Amino acid sequence: MIFCPYCANQLTLVEGASGNKFGCATCPYEYPLNKRYMERTYLKRKQIDDVMGGADSWKNVDSTAVDCPKECGSDRAFYMQIQIRSADEPSTTFYKCTNMHCNYQWREN
């Protein structure tokens, strides 16, 4: 995007008999195009944070007696409660099976 140096409005492409040019919609400023004009800007992607806390999210959590839905035979699971909805809604409980071969994760509202 190119902006007008006088009024700071965005210049628009104006096609005419004398050639193409960028023109300002609010003042008489014109920027003639004598050759092909191309400008490219690559934006850096924002790094996304893991909502659940990443690999360290299951450190120092308690375990409780609950059967694993995957039927791996484990009767215990690590759990944590997080408020993911509005304050007047109940917390969501996240579980992770204690069986090292299973490690199934599920949640209950």
47 in a structural domain: no
d(Cα 57, Cα 92) in Å, to the nearest integer? Answer: 15
Regarding pTM above 0.75, the answer is: no
Say if residue 30 is in the same domain as residue 63: no
Residue ranges of the annotated binding site are: 4, 7, 24, 27, 68, 72, 97, 102
**20-71 residue pLDDT tens:** 888 999 999 988 888 877 778 899 988 876 666 666 777 888 899 999 998 8
Q: Residue 50 domain-assigned?
A: no
Verify that 73 and 100 share a domain, yes or no.
yes
Task: Record the tokens describing residue 97, joined without a space.
Answer: 């099976």
The binding site for Zn(2+) comprises 4, 7, 24, 27, 68, 72, 97, 102
Range of the domain at 22: 1-41
Strands 12-16 and 19-23: antiparallel
Same domain, yes or no: 35 and 74: no
Q: What CATH number does the domain containing 82 carry?
A: 2.20.25.10
Which residue from 27, 38, 34, 32 is spatially nearest to 5, judged by alpha carbons?
A: 27
In a domain, 49, yes or no: no
Clarify whether residues 24 and 65 are in a common domain. no
